[in-house]
A and B are shown apart, each in its own frame.
Chain A
Amino acid sequence: MKRVLVLQMCRLGDLLQTTPLLRGLRRLVPDGFISLVVTDGVAEVPIPASLADERVVFPQQALARGLAEQPESWPEAARSIAEFVDRWAPLPFDVCLNLTHTEFSALLARLVPARRTIGRVVADDRTDVVLGPWLQYLWASQAVRRLSSLNLVDVYAWAAGVPSDRGPLDIVVTEGARWRARAWLAGRPEPARPLVAVQLGSSEERRRWPPELFAAAIDRLPVEWGDVVLLGTPAERPLADRARAVLRRDVIDLMGQTSLEELGAVLERCRLLLTNDTGTMHVAAAVGTRVVCLSSGPAFVHETGPYGEGHLWVEPLDACFPCAAETVCHHFACRLAYTPDDVAGVVGFALGRTPAPRLGGAQILAGAFGADGEVRYVPIDHRAGSPRERLRRALSRVWRESLGVPGGRAAEHGGEPADLAGGASDLANEAEPLRELAAAAREAGLAAARLARVRGTAVADAGRACDRGLDRLWRLGAATDAAALLVAHLRVVVDALVGLPLPALARRYAEACRATAARADRLADLLDPRAAVGPVGTALAACVAVAGGETGPEWPAAQPPDRAAGAGPNPDRRLRVETAHGTGPA
């Protein structure tokens, strides 16, 4: 029996985004034992109990609070952590999958007894490394966030070797919660009128569209489009007060009243959720309610957009968007990239009432499933063919082909339809630095391979040549965004090579450099097909599974996802959007 530990120690949204992985794991190892570790902050999130055999709550917030109040209590905290991991000492895990990218989780991943770890973990030499190709990709992608191209849900699943099943996120909504939701929403003058939910909050100021602007947008929605329901936590009450101070129409205010289950039940009854990037957004996606998300700051649709088809995302076109997690913003310019009129127009479009609006400083993207079952967000307006969008799509393809999508088709069938066509020439400039990078990576790979072979006094010379090759690669990483991303990934891969003897280390360096060269070549060919140098598919196929020698876990008797059913456990609630290219939702 396989024993799998999943460390998901972040917030509500992150836990919900882990549910397709857990669902797929259950399918892949039906007789396995799955332990899910969450923090006390999300202990009550109602995900189906069937997803894990054991759901263990680590009292992270309580411990952190205790340490803040009494720093001298660290021996007790250390004892709690030791006892927490010791519970599994008699039965180590086969795989520990750390989906949390914090220092603490890296230490916990190291302390938990497991034969193999995927994700961030502390190595013997005290350095933090990231293991497993897809989580290495995820960490590297943070170096150039604007080129991130894959949804966190898919990356999580693929990291565990689980194919994307095109199903929704999972959440439990009980009949009791539905009954209470019905009671709260009863007594409206027009019971048949649709409901539009609005979530004003978000985890930080940068991600929050000002509540006064939300109010102005709500005022612009014709009454017949729907009654507005305000949702949120008790802590977000001040935002509701600010909005209601300027709001001219009546709203149903449920802010601070709902449990997470009840939140799901209310959202089930809504036609649409207008929101910032929040956990509520993922709850709506889970219950199959269409989302219109207003993004700003670090909220980035290509990483954490609502999972599923037909959701809409309004994204600023500011040069600095999306900012890094640690950025301290002083201008909040991206929050003003769209106006209340723009937002009312997007809501009208999402409700099927109006055509898609043209926004001045922002664009609208819609979610759809791609060739490998992954969710991708595509602009619906005239900017659909913008260079950055096409570069992102090319990168998505390169990553999927080179890192290997479990059960995926992109690598097998030579890729997906040529959606990069129509404007390749403006991307040709990007190709040249990539070809130079590919040449340098090949050279560095050769130098590393030589280092693996030589012995005695020749080692020093070969080592210096290898260093020179890598130095050149690091320098070329500054040339363009795409080159920076590929080099950042190479760094994450080679940083993970800890504790190997020199020949083995050099061999792994060589493999990693060759894989980077193949990626750079493939990307250059996709961006500038006229100058393609050779059969790309074979080169790239060769670099699958050489990312630091790490691959996804091998599960017994992997089963293909149930594409015939097409919708996972909840097919009826799938959104019926035929296209995301301007024709509007059905």
Chain B
Amino acid sequence: MADAFATSLAELERHSPSVADAIASAGPGAYTWSVTSAGAVVVEHEGRPLDSRRDPAGAAARQAATAAAPAVVLAGFGSGYLSEALLARHAIVHVVVGDPAELAAALRARDLAHVCRAARFHLARRVADAHGAAALKAVAPDLVAHGPSVARSADLRCLVERWPRVTVAARRPRILVVGPIAGGTPEMARASARAFTALGADVRDIDPSAMAAGLEWLGTMAPHAPAATRWQDRLVDLIADLVVEVAASWPADLVFALAQAPLARQHVERLADASVPAAFWFAENHRVLPYWIHVAPAYRWVYGIQPGAFEARLASLGVAHPGYLPAACDPAVHRPVTLRAEERDRYAAAISFAGAPYVNRRKVFARLRDLPLRLWGPDWDRDPVLRSMAGCPRRFTTDEMVRIFAASAINLNVHAAAHVDGLDPEPDFVNPRTFELAACGAFQLTDWRRPLADLFAEDEIATFRTVSELRALIERYLDDAPGRARMAERARRHALAAHTYVHRMDRVLRDTIAPDLYGACARPRAPSLDEAIAGLARAERASRDELVLRAVRALTAGGRQVA
């Protein structure tokens, strides 16, 4: 059955990758299988059969008949007969696997590739909690338990006992994402908003970065600096008032603010007065930007990218739920790209760095002047020592960034540190660039960070602690294209599997949103009204259905009456 097992695993890999990974890493356990007198294969655990020896298919069919809904959850897999019986009766079957070794044994014992193709598999430890169960119930209201599997798995028992009490809200959670006016996190805010949407929440994204020019203009028009600050503060206050009003009138279930969002402490308190909870992702170095001390205590949840000391500091300030939420990547944006010839000519480099010319980076790169290094980003040409390495002295777009990554054999990632003469002496955070490079499938050399070991394996991202180590790594990898490609691919797989914004925002939703509302996220989303209208509007003449849908849209937009 080796071929059948490989086929089944390939199907699992395609539709339920986390379960496929779990099977691949699971040992054989105490599972064996036997063939009954009627020729049926039954998986056994420590000699006890997991399904009826006499008529496993018939028994499974009788149990499957007890479920009524078109979509069902199967808790436990056994020998796979129950999943086959359910698939014969129901359109959608979600299998919750308690012990991956049990599933592995069944796939080895029987040819179940059709089940792996048709059903969706989940690991019990991920869906047994209140949030996971609600999400499961949103897509499949009935649960069928495979008794022997449930008996041996605490997670499955928890799920089965919880199931009758699990409820799913009628509407999706409403998340209001607030980005900064200026600063380094507008892209993170947009990616977070996209991730919340992908997770199934209703999202409104307040992106005030369009006001950055206005803020700057106010600064230039004011007669003196204090006046400039005063006027700029008023603009910031205005935006914050807008946020509060939108959040309170919607009303939002959560306001998710990024570092440097234009919300002062009083605005967050006003949100709380309006019963709108707020979370804050301070994706900056807390030692460099200390203003968070004033605003953080007003938030119920505050996340930082620095584990340990920052969380303790937040707790001491009275933040109810401090947490560590590392930066992430957005696979829709940060992806491998194929370069056209002219793009390759423009961006090609043996070694490159893309980012801002912080002092510590300039010091590091000054010691690499003899190497074929290109520096991308604004103001590198102002440094007399590094001018000759400057690629294009202006801000690059995200689209350009992924092309720079793709065109470079080695991408350097040197974390920024203020007032430091070289590498960051307090390496307690991992910057977004690390994840972005990984997701792009780009090979990177990164200065060593304490939390990195929990995020990536050593054979995924190479790190250096000194410039000398960096030189050695460059020498080692510059001519080792296959080695670079292997590491980059491993890092990419890991980034996509565990470090996307969807993973991060899922954690935020689980922390901040009640299970029934969280469950509603999983409800299949119908096409939006505009999508439905666009689909119908391809016809030359407006159809009745299109007119009806346009009437619905007109109702949502309101109308104007003449006179």
Contact call B555/A77, Cβ cutoff below 8 A: yes
- A125-B563 contact, Cβ under 8 Å, with A67-B552, A71-B556, A75-B526: no
A100 to B, closest residue via Cβ: B561
Contact call A72/B547, Cβ cutoff below 8 A: no
- Which residues on A sit within 8 Å (CB–CB) of B537? 126
User: How many A-B residue contacts, CB cutoff 8 Å?
Assistant: 96
Contact call A304/B563, Cβ cutoff below 8 A: yes
A61 to B, closest residue via Cβ: B555
- Which residues on B sit within 8 Å (CB–CB) of A63? 552, 555
- Which residues on B sit within 8 Å (CB–CB) of A111? 544, 547-548, 551
- Which residues on A sit within 8 Å (CB–CB) of B560? 101-102, 325-326
Contact call A102/B561, Cβ cutoff below 8 A: yes
A107 to B, closest residue via Cβ: B551
Per-residue contact bits, chain A 381-406, to B (CB 8 Å; 1 contact, 0 not): 00000000000000000000000000
Nearest chain A CB to B520's CB is how many angstroms away?
Answer: 10
- Which residues on A sit within 8 Å (CB–CB) of B170? 70
| Cα-based distance from A459 to B541 in the complex (angstroms) | 26
| Cα-based distance from A124 to B529 in the complex (angstroms) | 21
Contact call A101/B562, Cβ cutoff below 8 A: yes
- Which residues on B sit within 8 Å (CB–CB) of A108? 551
Q: Which of A10, A63, A74, A139 has the most CB of B within 10 A?
A: A74
Chain A, 399-426, CB within 8 A of any chain B CB: none
Contact call A72/B542, Cβ cutoff below 8 A: no
Chain A, 554-568, CB within 8 A of any chain B CB: none
- Which residues on A sit within 8 Å (CB–CB) of B548? 78, 81-82, 107, 111
Contact call A72/B562, Cβ cutoff below 8 A: no
Contact call A81/B561, Cβ cutoff below 8 A: no
Contact call A124/B542, Cβ cutoff below 8 A: yes
- Which residues on A sit within 8 Å (CB–CB) of B62? none
- A107-B529 contact, Cβ under 8 Å, with A69-B171, A139-B562, A325-B562: no
| Cα-based distance from A142 to B547 in the complex (angstroms) | 26
| Cα-based distance from A105 to B562 in the complex (angstroms) | 12
Contact call A70/B171, Cβ cutoff below 8 A: yes
- Which residues on B sit within 8 Å (CB–CB) of A11? 561
Picked from A71, A139, A141, the residue with its CB within 8 Å of the CB of B529 is A71
User: Is B550 among interface residues, defined by CB-CB distance under 8 A?
Assistant: yes
- Which residues on B sit within 8 Å (CB–CB) of A67? 552, 555-556
Per-residue contact bits, chain A 94-120, to B (CB 8 Å; 1 contact, 0 not): 000000111111011011000000000
- Which residues on B sit within 8 Å (CB–CB) of A77? 552, 555
Contact call A105/B563, Cβ cutoff below 8 A: no
- Which residues on A sit within 8 Å (CB–CB) of B562? 101, 138-139, 142, 325
- A81-B172 contact, Cβ under 8 Å, with A64-B558, A67-B556, A325-B562: no
Chain A, 136-153, CB within 8 A of any chain B CB: 138-139, 141-142, 148, 152
Chain A, 66-92, CB within 8 A of any chain B CB: 67-72, 74-75, 77-78, 81-82
Per-residue contact bits, chain B 269-306, to A (CB 8 Å; 1 contact, 0 not): 00000000000000000000000000000000000000
Chain B, 525-563, CB within 8 A of any chain A CB: 525-526, 528-529, 532, 537, 541-542, 544, 547-552, 554-563
- Which residues on A sit within 8 Å (CB–CB) of B556? 64, 67-68, 71, 74
Picked from A60, A74, A107, the residue with its CB within 8 Å of the CB of B547 is A107
B549 to A, closest residue via Cβ: A78
- Which residues on A sit within 8 Å (CB–CB) of B549? 74, 78
User: Is B142 among interface residues, defined by CB-CB distance under 8 A?
Assistant: no
Q: Which of B202, B529, B559 has the most CB of A within 10 A?
A: B559
- Which residues on A sit within 8 Å (CB–CB) of B558? 64
Besides A64-B556, A74-B529, 15 other CB < 8 A contacts? Answer: A63-B555, A64-B558, A74-B532, A74-B549, A78-B548, A78-B551, A82-B544, A104-B555, A107-B554, A108-B551, A124-B542, A125-B541, A138-B563, A139-B562, A141-B563
Closest 9 A-B residue pairs measured CB to CB? A102-B559, A101-B562, A104-B554, A107-B551, A103-B554, A74-B529, A303-B563, A77-B552, A67-B556
Q: Name A's B-contacting residues (CB within 8 A).
A: 10-11, 14, 60, 63-64, 67-72, 74-75, 77-78, 81-82, 100-105, 107-108, 110-111, 122, 124-126, 138-139, 141-142, 148, 152, 300, 303-304, 325-326
Interchain Cβ contacts under 8 Å between A and B, 5 examples? A102-B559, A107-B554, A124-B542, A139-B562, A141-B563
